[in-house]
Structures are given as C-alpha cells and as structure tokens.
C-alpha cells in the first residue's frame, strides 16, 4: 500500500504514512530491517506521550538549537531511519544553524552510505559527508560502526543524533563531544547519556527545531549561552517520565484516556 492510498480519514493516518515512508526507505536500501523494529519501539512510547511535542521536549529543542548555533563544529548525524523520515527538516536545520550533515551508520556498508547521501541530496540537503571524506575511528566502537569523517563527527564539538543506539552515543560522549539526542524512549541508554535529550518523535522534533532556529538565529551569544547554561537535562527527563506516568495513571484509574492518541 503506497502512502497516497492510505485514507486520510483513517484514525492512525499519520502513523501509517510514517510507516510507509520507512518501508519505502527499506525498499531503497536506506533503512535496515532492524531500523523498522527500532521504529516500533519508538511508536509505543509515542502512544503513551499522546503523539505530541510536550513542554519538556520544547525546552530540550531550544537548548539543542542554541547549542548548534554556539558550537564551533556542530554536526547533525543522520542514520537510515532519520534520512527516510525527515530529510528536508535535516537539511533546513543544517542550513539555518551552519551544522554539517554526516551519514553515520550502525549497520554500515558503503553502498548504504551512498544511497542515504543520494536520498538526502535529492531532498535538498547540500554538502553531505559520509562516503567521500577522510575516514577516522571513534575509539571504543569496533569497525565499521566507529567510522566517521575527520572533518565531520571526528572534529565536532557538538553532535545531534536521533533514533540512535546507546553504544554510539556513549562513544561520542567519551570522545569529549556534547551530544543532543532525539529519542522517544527516556529509558534508553542514549536518552540517559545525552547532554540534551529531546523526548519526542524525530520528525516532529526537527520540524519544531527548524522554527526555533529561525527565531534564535538572530539572538546574541549571551542569550544563547543563557539558554544552554540554564538547561537541566535531568529535570527534563524527570518531566518526560512524569508525563508518561500521568497518562498511564489516568488510563489505569479510568480504563480509558480522556485524550486518545491522535
Ligand atoms: P539504547 O541502546 O540507547 O538503550 P536502543 O537499544 O533502544 O537504545 P535502538 O534499538 O537503536 O536503540 O533504537 C533507537 C531508539 O530510537 C529507541 O529508543 C526508540 O525508542 C527510538 N525511536 C525510534 N523511532 C523514533 C522516532 N521516529 N523518533 C524518535 N525516537 C525514535
């Protein structure tokens, strides 16, 4: 079933369109089967969150954008799922913040890196790093999972990742980089380890990040530094857990939700 065949009236229209985009990415060699499974894990948490961007995610998005604007070498790390879901948003955020875009894969083959680069370029992302760069290794990750570009992630001081695995987030942190992560699961090692955790769906979060970048682009360094220094990730994660708890206890006490998932 192609995306345009899903009836708009379907109660889970958006979720089905997103799934379709991933399946399409799988057919093109961009998404791996494990990526489809990872998406399912994310969807379950999005159900609990009510499929919307909460205030704690909004705060994390602002901090991540401020940091992207302040960093000397910011990089947006793109994997197969993110490329399939939000290529245009990635390109626009990179353009607005001056961040580089690098294809960085857990299940890395050079063919897949090139397929993702082509897909990003076809969606308007300029200057993608991945295949044609000087390769370096991130310490602590066995090859080829640790391969990064010297002028990209290797020298980055700030990296935005999404739908990422905990090992790689940990390796980035160990290499001294600040990390912002978009991850629907606040329990994940990635969510727990990042400096900034955006507990939100990646496409939704990036769309919002683009709007915030348009707003903060004109801000002075002092304002941006204020946003970053007052940011409290443990507090944001606690609020994410509380929001989930509130939805679950409402459901547990009534046997239904007042506000069903969109
Ligand atoms: P960790 O190793 O960090 O504990 P994990 O083993 O769950 O996490 P993966 O299997 O790579 O790591 O899963 C990627 C993560 O991305 C999961 O936590 C999942 O909830 C989340 N996720 C999946 N799809 C999305 C999405 N569209 N937006 C945001 N997060 C997502």
Domain that holds residue 75: 55-239
Number of folded domains in the chain?
A: 1
Verify whether ligand 1 is closer than 6 Å to residue 36 (CB atom): no
Instruction: Enter the DSSP assignment of 126.
Output: -
Verify whether ligand 1 is closer than 6 Å to residue 49 (CB atom): no
The phi, psi pair for 181, rounded to 5°, reads -130, 135
Residues 42 and 46: their CA atoms lie apart, in Å, by 6
Inter-axis angle of helices 233-254 and 55-70, nearest 10:
160
Is 2 among the domain residues?
A: no
Pocket test of ligand 1: the residue of 19, 166, 183 to mutate, having most ligand atoms within 8 Å of its CB, is 183
Verify whether ligand 1 is closer than 6 Å to residue 192 (CB atom): no
Is 67 among the domain residues?
A: yes
Report H helices in 75-219. Answer: 80-85, 87-97, 110-122, 166-174, 189-193, 202-216
3 state SS of 66: helix
Residues 219 and 206: their CA atoms lie apart, in Å, by 20
- Please list the residues that pair with 137 across neighbouring strands: 147
Verify whether ligand 1 is closer than 6 Å to residue 182 (CB atom): yes
Is 37 among the domain residues?
A: no
Is 250 among the domain residues?
A: no
Strand pairing class (147-149; 135-137): antiparallel
Is 31 among the domain residues?
A: no
Does the pTM of the predicted model rise above 0.85? yes
Is 163 among the domain residues?
A: yes
Give the tens place of pLDDT for each residue, 186-223: 999 999 999 999 999 999 999 999 999 999 999 999 99
Give the tens place of pLDDT for each residue, 107-125: 899 999 999 999 999 999 9
Is 98 among the domain residues?
A: yes
CATH number reported for the structural domain that contains residue 234 in this entry: 3.40.50.12640
Is 64 among the domain residues?
A: yes
């Amino acid at each position: 079933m192609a995306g345009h065949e899903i009836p708009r009236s379907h109660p889970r229209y958006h979720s089905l369109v997103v799934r379709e985009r991933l399946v399409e990415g799988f057919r093109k060699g961009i998404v791996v089967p494990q990526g489809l499974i990872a998406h399912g894990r994310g969807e379950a948490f999005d159900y609990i969150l009510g499929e919307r961007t909460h205030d704690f995610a909004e705060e994390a998005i602002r901090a991540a954008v401020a940091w992207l604007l302040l960093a000397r070498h910011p990089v947006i790390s793109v994997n197969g799922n993110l490329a399939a879901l939000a290529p245009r948003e990635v390109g626009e955020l990179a353009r607005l913040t001056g961040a580089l875009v690098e294809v960085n894969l857990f299940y890395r083959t050079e063919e897949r890196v090139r397929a993702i680069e082509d897909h990003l370029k076809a969606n308007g992302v300029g200057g993608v790093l991945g295949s044609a760069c000087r390769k370096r290794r991130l310490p602590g990750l066995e090859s080829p999972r640790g391969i990064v570009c010297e002028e990209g992630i290797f020298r980055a001081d700030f990296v935005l990742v999404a739908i990422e695995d905990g090992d790689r987030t940990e390796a980035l942190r160990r290499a001294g980089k600040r990390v912002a992560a978009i991850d629907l699961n606040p329990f994940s090692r990635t969510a727990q380890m990042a400096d900034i955790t955006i507990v939100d769906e990646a496409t939704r979060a990036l769309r919002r990040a683009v709007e915030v970048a348009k707003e903060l682009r004109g801000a002075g360094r002092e304002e941006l530094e204020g946003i970053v220094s007052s940011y409290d990730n443990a507090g944001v994660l606690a609020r994410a857990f509380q929001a989930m708890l509130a939805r679950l206890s409402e459901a547990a006490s009534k046997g239904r939700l007042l506000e069903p998932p969109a």
